[in-house]
């Protein structure tokens, strides 16, 4: 927790002098943020970390001498509490390497904007995206942030009817959390698993492909009209709300580009509300690490129908925003460490 008046110290590591100037310019108007230094590659960056003791590192991927992935690995070993935000290109290779970085312990990412417009306009756009992503990791006394995980009193409630589906919502820290959690599902798990991860197009497809390679259940990016099948994991595609609809004796995926909810598309609330319409209370809803409050309204709807709500605890979350909002609203039956969530799902599903 930062003290009143204390600024978040940022180190910018990028081989492009233009990007280093752009990030510095983008953060200059932010009174609570301070760029304490820059570095042109990972080797110099490690020296600057020791010299400047930053709170946050913005890190490019492709750099000479020591690239971003190698620096990230060393930072995680030497400075495990240093927050790392990757800079990603908008290409397939850039997205794939960014997902690799997130799985290796990077906390979040921003995408590099295409060239165009003045440096002032580019800096303003970058600042609007980057500044909130930096702040999400920190709290100040009295800033209204979620209370510690021990505050909510969570009671076990058993299902009125056997569960028919699992819904998972996640944002910041999601790729690593999903990569640790989803492989724990056994191959014979009999329920469909629907996942909303806040990510743009391309990233969600690559995330599904990466998870498919490590899970015992098949994982894929959801397609419009696809059957929601037992024992399969579907990831919402970027820029589309993923909902479920019933008809002709089965449940199918419905995708739309209606207005963002909680500034998100896909949104967890959109999925959870549709699951309540189709399954009623026969749902296990899980809220994992993430910034903001997406999933809170959907959890309220599901809870009112008798669904079971699980929230990740603060200690194992990169950002305890989404799960903290659900827990502090008294909606969570259990607030659990990441390693304990799948065992609880299996228990709620009756060990089937």
- Give the pLDDT of residue 1: 64
CB 326 within 8 A of CB 300: no
* Sequence ranges of the chain with CATH classification 3.40.50.2300: 8-135
Reply yes or no on whether the pLDDT at 147 is more than 90: no
| pLDDT tier for residue 146 given thresholds of 50, 70 and 90 | very low
What is the DSSP code (8-state) at residue 182?
A: G
Can you tell me the distance from the alpha carbon of 349 to that of 69, in angstroms, rounded to the nearest whole number? 39
**Residue 121 token pair:** 């306009």
Q: What is the pLDDT of residues 278-288, one digit of tens each?
A: 999 999 999 99
Residue 233, strand partner residues: 193, 219
Annotation marks residue 108 as catalytic: no
Rg for the chain (alpha carbons), in Å? 20
- Between CA 230 and CA 227 the distance in angstroms is 9
Are 346 and 322 within 8 A, CB to CB? no
Rounded average pLDDT over 105-119: 82
Q: Residue 114's pLDDT is what?
A: 64
pLDDT at residue number 155? 52
- Active-site position among 15, 122, 198, 313: 198
> Which candidate in 294, 308, 316, 317 is catalytic?
294
Mean pLDDT of 157-173: 86
CATH 3.40.50.180: which residues of the chain? 165-348
Catalytic residue flag (residue 212): no
3-state helix, strand, coil in the chain (%, to 5): 35, 20, 45
Fold of 8-135: Rossmann fold (3.40.50)
Report which DSSP code applies to 147: P
CATH of range 165-348; options 1.20.120.1150, 3.40.50.180, 3.90.70.10, 3.30.460.10: 3.40.50.180
**Considering the chain, what percentage of its residues have pLDDT values greater than 90?**
84
Percent above pLDDT 70 for the chain: 91
Q: Which residue has the tokens 């008809």?
A: 247
* pLDDT value for 153: 43
The one catalytic residue among 122, 171, 274, 317: 171
Is 143 a known active-site residue? no
Instruction: Provide the whole-model pTM.
Output: 0.91
Please provide the average confidence, as pLDDT, over all residues in the chain.
92
């Amino acid at each position: 927790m930062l003290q009143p008046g204390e600024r978040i110290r940022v180190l910018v590591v990028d081989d492009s002098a233009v990007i280093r100037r752009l990030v510095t310019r983008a953060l200059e108007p932010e009174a609570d943020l301070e760029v304490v230094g820059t570095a042109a590659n990972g080797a110099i960056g490690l020296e600057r970390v020791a010299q400047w003791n930053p709170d946050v590192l913005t890190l490019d991927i492709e750099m000479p001498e020591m690239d971003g992935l190698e620096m990230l690995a060393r930072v995680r070993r030497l400075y495990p509490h240093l927050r790392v935000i990757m800079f990603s290109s908008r290409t397939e290779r850039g997205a794939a390497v960014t997902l690799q970085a997130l799985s290796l312990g990077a906390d979040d990412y921003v995408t590099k904007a295409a060239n165009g417009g003045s440096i002032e306009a580019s800096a303003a756009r970058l600042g609007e995206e980057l500044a909130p992503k930096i702040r999400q990791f920190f709290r100040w006394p009295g800033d209204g942030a979620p209370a510690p995980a021990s505050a909510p009193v969570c009671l076990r409630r058993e299902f009125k009817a056997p569960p028919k589906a699992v819904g998972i919502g996640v944002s910041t820290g999601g790729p690593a959390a999903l990569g640790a959690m989803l492989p724990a599902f056994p191959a014979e798990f009999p329920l469909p698993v629907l996942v909303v991860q806040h990510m743009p197009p391309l990233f969600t497809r690559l995330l599904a492909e990466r998870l498919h390679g490590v899970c015992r259940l098949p994982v894929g990016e959801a397609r419009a009209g696809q059957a929601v099948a037992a024992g399969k994991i579907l990831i919402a595609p970027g820029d589309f709300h993923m909902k479920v609809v019933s008809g002709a004796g089965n449940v199918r995926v419905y995708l739309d580009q209606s207005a963002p909810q909680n500034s998100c598309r896909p949104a967890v609330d959109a999925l959870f509300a549709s699951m309540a319409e189709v399954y009623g209370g026969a749902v296990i809803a899980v809220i994992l690490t993430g910034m903001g409050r997406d999933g809170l309204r959907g959890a309220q709807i599901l809870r009112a129908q008798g669904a079971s709500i699980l929230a990740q605890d603060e200690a194992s979350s990169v950002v305890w925003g989404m799960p903290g909002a659900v827990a502090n609203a008294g909606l969570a039956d259990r607030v659990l460490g990441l390693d304990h969530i799948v065992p609880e799902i299996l228990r709620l599903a009756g060990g089937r």
